[in-house]
Structure 1
Amino acid sequence: MPTPANSLRRQMLRRRPITGAPIADGASAQLERTLGTFLLTMFGVGETVGAGIFIVLSQSVPQAGPAVVISFILAGIAAGLAAVCYAEMASAVPVSGSAYSYCYATLGELPAMGVAACLLLEYGVSTAAVAVGWSQYLNKLLDNVLGFHLPQAISAGPWDFAPGVVNLPAIVLVAMCAVLLIRGASQSAKANAVMVVIKLSVLVVFAAIAFTAFKSSHFSDLAPFGMSGISLASGTIFFAYIGLDAVSTAGDEVKDPQHTMPRAIIYALLIVTAIHVLVAVAAVGSQPWQEFRGEDAVLAVILDHITGNTLGSTLVCAGAVISIFSVTLVTLYGQTRILFTMGRDGLLPPMFAKVNPRTMTPVRNTMIVALAVAVLAALVPLEKLAETVSIGTLTAFIVVSAGVIVLRIQAPDLPRGFRVPGYPLTPFLSIAACAYILFSLHWYTWIAFSGWVAVAMVFYVVWGRRHSALNDDATSAAVAHD
């Protein structure tokens, strides 16, 4: 427990030591290191490719028109600037917890709690969002192959565009991913890698077919809603780039994390940006942008129109079902590891930092997260989820970029396996680019986000600060005032 001298202000600003940090009573020390560069890169690609391309086009194209291609490029540039900042932070602070851990080491305990709230929001809601999209593509696949369509009552939530009662396929997807994660990180990573190779192949096939119907006239009214529409679409798209953060949630399960994590982040960014722009250009060039609005399983529908049969769309639907499975797997993984790190730091109850001795996975975390996400996916429609994820992702990216600057000042001699090129301009540009997209989001998204962060701050003041592992660490006061 904190002493009287350990004031509230000192508690809020104390920083977690980069090495030799204390562990909360009852928490497991670490996870098992089994992941190399390839599997970790596939984690980033697996989460990022799928959510934006297979799902969000039907929301983002009506926001920006054909200029959605520019929105993808803008989001990619912002994510790229943030990615190199992540790469440096991951090499300097090679632990699980991603932006939460980086913030804790540079800005202090209270800011870290706020960032943790952002991460838990973005991972939880993004998992629910992609599970909803999976349900759409599964229905389309069943319709193409078997001529069978799941009843609306069990394939859509009550507040969907075409309302149902409960989205049962979304619940099933979350449950399957949870079972795989409980079995072990290595098995999950290998399964994800196979799914990533399949999904990239399917997207290349889609682009090849879509380009046969390409018409430059579809880009004639390039930006019908101006720069505001382009920015809004960038914000909607940005939730897909959470995959770059997902790589850094695996710090405790990576071999040689100081070198493996930066490489995986950069490789994932290059693959993701290339495939996003390719598919966006092919899709928008193949049909008028007005036809994207409200379209479920939009890539499959495009191929139906082009080929006049269901063969191409069946392939895309099968690819999407596999692809979105891998997205859900990685986002669910990321959230459980952030909860594990917070439990180990004492900012959450130690039950969140318990590891099964046989599988070396946080089983209880996985079950709790899966239950919460399944309820959200079962009831809430996709369009209500995507923007909420983006605001959390963008906030985390800004904090990581700021953390690079702070850590260079605080610990200039700290060993780093990767250094941001163009420092200090690059992290400042990253902050500016993310902030620009951030402030283009709807006001109601800001209200929901602010309310969520406020709840996290209250929890910290009432419970978290009193149970922090740093309370029993003799060096914590000094760390807060270096």
Structure 2
Amino acid sequence: MSPRSPLRRQLLRRKPLHSFTDAGGGAGLRRTVGPFQLTMIGIGATIGTGIFFALGSAVPEAGPAVILSFVVAAVAAALTALCYAELASAVPVSGSSYSYAYATLGEFAAWAVGWCLLLEYAVSGAAIAVSWGEYLNDLTLRLFDVRMPDAISAPPGAGGVVNLPGVVLVGLCCLLLVRGAKESALVNTVMVLVKLAVLALFVVVGTTAFDSGNLQPFAPLGFAGVGTAAATVFFAFIGLDAVSTAGDEVRDPKRTLPLAIVGALAVVTTVYVLVAVVGVGAQPWTAFEGQEAGLSAILGDITGAQWPAVLLSAGAVLSIVSVTLVVLYGQSRILYTMGRDGMLPTAFRRVSPRSGTPVFSTLMTGGFVALLAAVFPLDLLADLTSMGTLAAFTVVSLGVLILRRTSPHLDRGFRVPGHPVVPVLSLGACGYLIYELPLDTYLLFGGWLVLALVVYLLYSRHNSALEAPEDTALAAPGAER
């Protein structure tokens, strides 16, 4: 193909850095979120997926060595978090790694990354919405001796037909998001504080039943099991990306975004490792497989009483709401940014003058996530989320390397220490975790990327803001065509 081919130019054209700054203001989203609320968004998107659900699937893969799996995943996430912090401070707008790829790798790479992010957020939201039904059932059973039928509450593929609680949860979160980002951030902050208190209760009570004998053998499935489990639980670190989707709604984004990313990672990693240590120390690792509402069951076995387990199940029900809320928030903002760039239809970039939120993007996100939650098996959802997350993280690490070379004097509120070693290590860690994912995940992910290519060739490349700047939203983010 000739270098002068129109398609070649479309695939490789990059969005100028100044246009990101211009797009961050104007008639678009409102800057109402502060650093504490943004950190809570990161924690809210993360704690819940990794602890209230993932132990049940990760412990059978690694045994007690799941503790190391969380550490491996956390190290990979920490390397990438530093890269996120730099790019978020340099390009402080909504869109996360989609926007970063647009500035560094070109339009088609950005489109593919955006497509990965849509998969990452939608599938993650569906996975946690599905698991909400398990904890809701556990809570109603303990309080009222009432349990919903498996056909409408269990994950598809595990006795369920349609996961009705997951659909209801997604609908409620969408209604809250449509009201406004400030209101959603406030509700999320309250729920995050509740979930941290509940997990602290688990650690305190669980420690009383800690038995070092439950840690033997420590790695019954070898280091291969540790790697497999690390790839499974890595989707729990999606909160790092969720922070960077709020770039257009954060006050003083160059300072606030890096602080929130690093702060959320520190809190999340500490909580994950503590709960994993206490969990595998409190019961044999073989008991985790197939265990519904695992943390609640552990507390019930330890105390022989109902109240600790009831509190934990209630906290899980509330905290999973916060995860779903933030995941839906993140995806709707990515859709908004892609619509603003002309990569998606005009409706996606419309902002309500009353609430200052992208209502159409939010409703489309909710509909897609509700559909996935209703009919897709849970294990498949988790692995697909890991693949989408790792693909996005890889692009962020590449973006730091490229932007340091192409724009060395760009104003950055944060700079990755140890450059270029840290971004290269991040790439290596992400590559290793991608390698550990199962074959069926590769096949489904490949099909998703093929669909991305078809949509780009038929629609996005012709409607891109870089194709016809005068006809798109670059000049005014809230404007209509």
Fold shared per TM-score above 0.5: yes
Within-5 A mapping of 1:190-269: 190-269=186-265
Could you tell me whether the CA contact under 8 Å between 1:23 and 1:29 is conserved in 2?
no
* Runs of 5+ unmatched residues, structure 2: 471-481
* Aligned: 1:116 with 2:114: yes
1:166 alignment partner, SS class: coil
C-alpha displacement at 1:23, in angstroms? Answer: 9.5
Q: Partners in 1 of 2:75 and 2:348 — Cα distance?
A: 35
Q: Partners in 1 of 2:20 and 2:300 — Cα distance?
A: 56
* Aligned: 1:13 with 2:9: no
Correspondence for 2:319: 323
1:415 alignment partner, SS class: coil
Correspondence for 2:400: 404
1:30 equivalent among 16, 28, 34: 28
TM-score between the two structures when normalised by the length of structure 1: 0.95
1:416 alignment partner, SS class: coil
Correspondence for 2:468: 472
Residue identity matched to 1:108: G
Could you tell me whether the CA contact under 8 Å between 2:342 and 2:465 is conserved in 1?
yes
Q: Which moved more, 1:361-370 or 1:70-79?
A: 361-370
Correspondence for 1:130: 128
Residue identity matched to 1:104: Y
1:139 alignment partner, SS class: helix
Residue identity matched to 1:374: A
Could you tell me whether the CA contact under 8 Å between 2:31 and 2:250 is conserved in 1?
yes
1:374 alignment partner, SS class: helix
* Aligned: 1:160 with 2:157: yes
Q: What is the CA deviation profile of residues 284-309 of structure 1, one whole-angstrom value per residue up to 9, with x for unaligned ones?
A: 00000000001110000111111112
Q: Partners in 2 of 1:21 and 1:12 — Cα distance?
A: 19
Q: What is the CA deviation profile of residues 212-259 of structure 1, one whole-angstrom value per residue up to 9, with x for unaligned ones?
A: 111111111111111111111111101110100000000010111111
Correspondence for 1:45: 43
* Aligned: 1:460 with 2:456: yes
Within-5 A mapping of 1:46-195: 46-157=44-155, 159-161=156-158, 163-195=159-191
Could you tell me whether the CA contact under 8 Å between 2:111 and 2:456 is conserved in 1?
yes
C-alpha displacement at 1:6, in angstroms? Answer: 6.8
Q: Partners in 1 of 2:429 and 2:93 — Cα distance?
A: 26
Q: Partners in 1 of 2:345 and 2:211 — Cα distance?
A: 57
Q: What is the CA deviation profile of residues 162-211 of structure 1, one whole-angstrom value per residue up to 9, with x for unaligned ones?
A: x2331111111001100000000000001000111110010011011111
C-alpha displacement at 1:454, in angstroms? Answer: 1.3
Q: What is the CA deviation profile of residues 80-131 of structure 1, one whole-angstrom value per residue up to 9, with x for unaligned ones?
A: 0000000000000011000000000000001011111110001000000000
* Aligned: 1:298 with 2:300: no
C-alpha displacement at 1:21, in angstroms? Answer: 5.2
Q: Partners in 1 of 2:157 and 2:216 — Cα distance?
A: 33
Q: Partners in 2 of 1:401 and 1:275 — Cα distance?
A: 25
Residue identity matched to 1:451: G
* Aligned: 1:340 with 2:339: no
Could you tell me whether the CA contact under 8 Å between 1:22 and 1:345 is conserved in 2?
no
Q: Partners in 2 of 1:467 and 1:298 — Cα distance?
A: 48
Q: Partners in 1 of 2:468 and 2:454 — Cα distance?
A: 22
Q: Partners in 1 of 2:351 and 2:469 — Cα distance?
A: 23
The alignment's C-alpha RMSD in Å is 1.6
TM-score between the two structures when normalised by the length of structure 2: 0.95
1:51 alignment partner, SS class: coil
C-alpha displacement at 1:381, in angstroms? Answer: 2.6
1:394 alignment partner, SS class: helix
C-alpha displacement at 1:160, in angstroms? Answer: 2.4
Residue identity matched to 2:235: F
1:283 alignment partner, SS class: helix
Correspondence for 1:479: none
2:47 alignment partner, SS class: helix
Could you tell me whether the CA contact under 8 Å between 1:136 and 1:296 is conserved in 2?
yes
How many residues are matched?
A: 467
Residue identity matched to 2:168: V
Could you tell me whether the CA contact under 8 Å between 2:20 and 2:91 is conserved in 1?
no
Q: What is the CA deviation profile of residues 265-318 of structure 1, one whole-angstrom value per residue up to 9, with x for unaligned ones?
A: 000000000000000000000000000001110000111111112211111101
Residue identity matched to 2:157: D
Q: Partners in 2 of 1:42 and 1:452 — Cα distance?
A: 31
Percent identical among aligned pairs is 54
Q: Partners in 2 of 1:243 and 1:22 — Cα distance?
A: 24
Could you tell me whether the CA contact under 8 Å between 2:398 and 2:423 is conserved in 1?
yes
2:333 alignment partner, SS class: helix
2:390 alignment partner, SS class: helix
Q: Partners in 2 of 1:64 and 1:165 — Cα distance?
A: 30
Within-5 A mapping of 1:358-373: 358-373=354-369
Residue identity matched to 1:338: I
Residue identity matched to 1:150: M
Residue identity matched to 2:53: I
Q: Which moved more, 1:218-227 or 1:121-130?
A: 218-227
Could you tell me whether the CA contact under 8 Å between 1:22 and 1:469 is conserved in 2?
no
Distance 1:23 1:340, change over 3 A: farther
2:388 alignment partner, SS class: helix
Residue identity matched to 1:160: G
1:50 alignment partner, SS class: coil
Q: Partners in 2 of 1:167 and 1:443 — Cα distance?
A: 26
Could you tell me whether the CA contact under 8 Å between 1:231 and 1:437 is conserved in 2?
yes
Q: Partners in 1 of 2:20 and 2:125 — Cα distance?
A: 30
Q: Partners in 2 of 1:144 and 1:278 — Cα distance?
A: 26
1:383 equivalent among 379, 382, 392: 379
Q: Partners in 2 of 1:5 and 1:32 — Cα distance?
A: 40
Residue identity matched to 1:426: V
C-alpha displacement at 1:360, in angstroms? Answer: 0.7
Distance 1:22 1:306, change over 3 A: closer
* Runs of 5+ unmatched residues, structure 1: 475-482
Q: Partners in 2 of 1:235 and 1:274 — Cα distance?
A: 19
